[in-house]
Amino acid sequence: MVPVDLGAREHKKESYLSLNSFGHVPALQDGGLKLFESRAISKYIASTYSDKGIELRSGKVLDVYEARLGRTQYLSGDSFGLADVHHQPVVHYLMNTPAKAVFEARPHVSKWAKVVEVQNK
């Protein structure tokens, strides 16, 4: 996973446009495969890596989130935005499963998850 700084317009630079010619986030490259559209990416990851545990996958992603949330209050930056909205249903679901421990092991992610759940109500 490579974070993209939207404020610095990294999603409009040639290196990113080679993944998604529209310059939209997210985009995924796995070997020679390039995907964009969050649902397509989610389906691909779920089917391709179904033999990997949620703790491993989520842990790696949440490590990136932990670093980001150590600098900003939300994934979107300093205000609640689309990146946070997109995560609401997943966060709500996972926080009510044993995977909750993966979130709680990361203080910034844990705090953010609680805020995201409140914003959902």
Q: How confident is the model at residue 74 (pLDDT cuts 50, 70, 90)?
A: very high
pLDDT per residue over 10-51, tens digit each? 899 998 898 888 998 888 888 889 998 888 888 888 778 766
What pLDDT sits at residue 71? 96
Same domain, 16 and 69: no
pTM for the model? 0.54
Q: What is the pLDDT of residue 99?
A: 79
The parent domain of residue 35 ranges over 1-51
Helix (H), strand (E), coil (C) string for the chain: CCCCCCCCCHHHCHHHHCCCCCCCCCEEEECCEEEECHHHHHHHHHHHCCCCCHHHHHHHHHHHHHHHHCCCCECCECCCCHHHHHHHHHHHHHCCCCCHHHHHCCHHHHHHHHHHHHHCC
Q: What is the pLDDT of residue 118?
A: 82
- Total count of domains within the chain: 2
> Quick one: 59 and 112 in the same domain?
yes
Q: Average the pLDDT over 87-112 and give the result.
A: 87
Is the confidence at residue 1, as pLDDT, over 70?
no
Asked if 29 and 63 sit in the same domain, the reply is: no
